Amino acid sequence: MKAKVYVTLKSGVLDPQGKAIQHSVELLGYHGIADVRQGKYFEIALDSALDSAAARETAERMAREVLSNPVIEDFSVEISEA
Amino acid sequence: MKFGVIVFPGSNCDHDAYHVISKHVGQPVDFIWHQDTDLSTYDAVIIPGGFSYGDYLRAGALARFSPVMNSVREFAASGRFVLGICNGFQILCEAGLLPGALIRNRELHFICDYVHVRVETADTPFTSELQKGSILHLPIAHAEGNYVCDDETLAELQSDERIVFRYTDARGELTEEANSNGSRFSIAGICNRERNVLGLMPHPERACEDLLGSSDGRDIFRSLAATLAALV
């Protein structure tokens, strides 16, 4: 089982790094970019004995307790077989 | 009274804090390795600045899971005193001992500079020897010092007078420029509801000798010592 965890800043939280990235790509000549938000991505290999519900439960708990800070960030979890 | 300075892998202001307590406050102080869990002999602990765990994941995020932090939580709940400086403030926020979070500075850069902060309340064990409205000249050195919190938390911090320090100019005026990291409401330091846990981004322990450019930081440690002396 593999868990993919995406951690993103909550919509109200200023993202100075995203702003800097947006500024840089605009300098490179990319047009039509309304906003860039930066986040984190984790790939977690889980024990193959876990079924997908148990894998999701484990990954969501990790995301909530460690991988994200609930004050400023949201997360989402995807579970796949491989 | 006895002080402890907690040392995580990556702490780098631990010796400064130790020096201030032993030399300027003149009290016994120990280093406490983050694997230790017995805080029973201490009256106050300092969580120093630095880059615990290399700031991996988020500043302060991994230090929160060190064994000593459960003891710090119990220590704080028992009413004893916890002072978190810079990375220590970040750790206290990550641990949920203080509300809000510290994110990347508004202008992205690591800022190493002297700033002015205004004392917003003398009603804490850490500012009791100061006057409300006093201006302190203190150094900052951080990339993630931009304090954020939701509206509800800010309202509560204000109504409870738990905002202890705000960034100002030398005259004590709040300006956008003086708030160099972009902190919400120019917040430089806050305390918990019980007022025995303080976190601040500036480094008072690096500003305790005139030779270093300022000795304004001493009053924070002297306040804490005076509070402890009054309890004995």
**Nearest CB to B101: which of A16, A67, A71?**
A71
Chain A residues within an 8 Å CB radius of B108? 16-17, 20
Chain B residues within an 8 Å CB radius of A67? 57
Check if B205 is active-site: yes
Chain B residues within an 8 Å CB radius of A71? 93, 99-101, 148-150
Q: What is the pLDDT of residue A81?
A: 86
Rounded (to 5) percent helix, strand, coil in chain B: 30, 25, 45
Task: Give bridge partners of residue B151 from the DSSP assignment.
Answer: none
Q: What is the pLDDT of residues B117-142, one digit of tens each?
A: 999 999 999 999 999 999 999 999 99
Among residues B86, B93, B149, B208, the one annotated as catalytic is B86
Chain B residues within an 8 Å CB radius of A14? 103, 106, 146, 148, 182
Residue, of B216 and A82, whose pLDDT is higher:
B216
Most A CBs within 10 Å, among B148, B183, B184, B187, to test the A interface: B148
Q: What is the pLDDT of residue B223?
A: 97
**Nearest CB to B103: which of A13, A20, A66?**
A13
Check if B116 is active-site: no
The one-letter amino acid code at B173 reads E
Phi and psi at residue B157, to the nearest 5°? -60, -40
Alpha helices, DSSP H only, in chain B?
14-19, 67-77, 87-94, 151-159, 218-231
Profile chain B (232 residues) by mean pLDDT over runs of 10 residues.
97 97 96 97 98 94 96 98 98 98 94 98 98 98 96 98 98 97 98 98 97 96 96 81
Determine contact: B33 vs chain A, CB below 8 A. no
The DSSP code for B130 is: S
In the numeric block, which tokens belong to residue A25? 């790509």
Q: What is the pLDDT of residue B25?
A: 95
Q: What is the pLDDT of residues A9-43, one digit of tens each?
A: 999 898 988 999 999 999 999 999 999 999 999 99
Asked if residue B136 lies in contact with residue B143, where contact means CB atoms within 8 angstroms, the answer is no
Pairing of strands B187-191, B44-47: unpaired
